[in-house]
Chain A
Amino acid sequence: MSAGERRRALALLAAAVFIVAPAVTSAYLTLGTTVNGRSVTTRWTPPIKYFVTNRSVDGVTANQLQTVVAQSFGTWAAVPTANTSATFTGFTNAEPVRDDGATVIGFQAHPELDRTLGVTTFTLDRTTGALVEADIFLNSLFDWSTAANGETNRFDVQSIVTHELGHLLGLGHSLLGETEIRPTGGRRVLGKSSVMFPIAYAVGTTQDRFLHDDDKAALSVTYPTPQFLQNTGSVSGRVTLDGAGIFGAHVVAFNTKTQELVGGFSLNANGEFAIDGLTPGIYVLRVEPLDDADVSSFFDGDARVELGFKATFHSKLVTVPYGGFGESVEIKVTRK
């Protein structure tokens, strides 16, 4: 593979999720690209070998950053139903956003991104879609901390790195969260149930260090262990409005016993969705429009996401069997 065959395919995180898949195999948003009309998922062959920049910022040394990055990789690698691992290769003076074939994580100043804490970029092989490298930068425009319990007025490095590593592993954003508009602009998180929700908690919080069921399911679907495929199941169906399928409806599956909460999207014009990696059992299904974050955080600009419908519960309890799909359901929503 020559350097000329490479190109930077994804400039911003979650900018190119699959929306062109001819068949809905999973409603989790995963990163990928299209090669010769074929969808290729962004996926590593473990272990991921990475560097950390040999540069300190106010409040965080390079060693502290490396320790936190290792802890965050460890958080993802600890998911028992997924096969992922990573190896720290060493410190580097290279910049984290540079097409050099090395995966680099570090701080970088981006004053033009005054609402962006971190970014993950990928370099893909244009001819095969294979992953060549991925870089993560944390925006040193903000104040950062690696304190065990967080630090007032500073963002928690481990929380944001854990989110960005989710992207690095190939995961897109999750919509399992509720927000409200700030008077000063932007959104404030009221609550969320996924590290991969696109909006961070406020400064001083360390809650995003911990994965939720939704994160674990998405990771496990991407890097499944054999046991995971046997011991979990899926729910599938359509979301319809006035009899027609709708794209981009957020479907949430809730297990009333385990209180597992996992979300996905309808990912084609027929409104079809499939949520994998669920504990077998009985589930409540809820559908809502994508109204707690920017649509562009989830889908590219060409996507026609339907937003004009009411949050709705499906009238049937649905079954998730072991290792397969239960009965396909149709969830009918009504206009706002």
Chain B
Amino acid sequence: MKLVIAALVVAITAAASPSAAQTPPSQPRVLVDVGGTLLGGGAVGSADATYTTSTGASFTLFSTAQSWSSGEGIIGHLEIRVAPRVALEISGDWTRPEIRSKITSDFEGAADTTATQRVSQFRANGGVVVSFAPRGRWTPFARGAVGWLRHLSSDNTLYQDGVTADLGGGVRYAWREKAGHVTPYGVRADFWLNARSGGLDLAKQSRIVTPGFSVAFILKL
């Protein structure tokens, strides 16, 4: 979370700088950025622990409702421009969400409990970024990507894979260039909707759609 906040503060500071709105940005062929991200969570389903009665009906021992918390982490993108306003992108992120099971209605009166485990989530995506006409140093863009995800349990004994897709957009803000070095080039803020399926399955239906947000420092190579 600290990464995200720090990046956001830098972004706002940079945007507020009066000297930043002087020169139109160049359009580098390759951009790399690294920053912080926050990926949302949500409910994924419920399940009852049941016994069978003499008639074949269900007898509920206890009930559970499963969810993912939001998870903060780090993110990086590599953009390669293939047309004036189109770039191919490879991105990856690592976040640390919590899986939760809210347990209620125990037949023998066990106290309601929310059992949790913090897991690692890795995503690797490939996608396309379409930039729109710059406005001063600001360049808005739209982005779509699909990819692979892996969840790793807290004790590192179990991993399960799934698929992921992002659709969203954002804006880049270009700083002044300092020639001759790999220099900070600007900042990038993204908002997107993420759909993911698979990974550590907490419920029969493991698909989830959540918002995502990131802020990253851009390096021009």
Could you tell me which A residues sit within 8 Å of B by CB distance? 176-178, 189-193, 201-202, 205, 207, 212, 233, 252, 254, 256-257, 259, 261, 280-282, 284-286, 288, 310-322, 324-327
Contacts and interface: CB of A to CB of B under 8 A. Distances in A.
17 contacts: A178-B108, A190-B59, A191-B53, A191-B58, A207-B53, A256-B66, A257-B47, A257-B202, A282-B200, A286-B62, A286-B106, A310-B109, A311-B109, A311-B110, A314-B115, A317-B101, A319-B154
Contact of B155 (A201, A313, A326): A326
B51 A191 contact: yes
A331 to B, nearest CB: 11
Interface in B136-185: 153-155, 157-158
Given A191-B59, A284-B64, A326-B155, A311 B53 contact: no
A71 to B, nearest CB: 19
Contacts of B61: 178, 191, 252, 261, 286
Interface residues of B, number: 41
A177 B51 contact: yes
A321 B151 CA distance: 13
B34 interface: no
Nearest to B100: A317
Contact of B49 (A192, A254, A281, A320): A254
Contacts of B210: none
Contacts of A320: 158
B157 A327 contact: yes
Given A193-B52, A207-B54, A321-B158, A178 B59 contact: yes
A150 to B, nearest CB: 10
A195 B47 CA distance: 22
B7 interface: no
A322 B204 contact: no
Contacts of B157: 319, 321, 324-327
Interface string B51-86: 111111011011010100000000000000000000
A256 B47 contact: yes
A223 B48 CA distance: 30
B103 A281 contact: no
Contact of A193 (B51, B99, B115): B51
A176 to B, nearest CB: 7
Given A201-B54, A207-B53, 19 more contacts: A189-B53, A190-B51, A191-B50, A191-B52, A191-B58, A207-B54, A207-B56, A257-B202, A259-B49, A282-B202, A284-B64, A284-B101, A312-B110, A313-B111, A314-B113, A315-B113, A317-B100, A319-B117, A319-B158
A257 B199 CA distance: 12
A178 B107 contact: yes
A310 B108 CA distance: 9
Nearest to B51: A191
Contacts of B108: 178, 288, 311
A47 to B, nearest CB: 30
A177 B51 CA distance: 7
A256 B117 CA distance: 14
A189 B61 CA distance: 13
B201 interface: yes
Contacts of B200: 281-282
Contacts of A212: 52
B10 interface: no
B208 interface: no
Contacts of B47: 256-257, 259
B51 A282 contact: no
B203 interface: yes
B64 A207 contact: no
Interface string B204-217: 10100000000000
Contacts of A284: 49, 64, 101, 103, 115
B201 A281 contact: yes
A307 B107 CA distance: 17
Contacts of B155: 319, 326-327
A140 B50 CA distance: 33
B54 A327 contact: no
Contacts of A326: 153, 155, 157-158
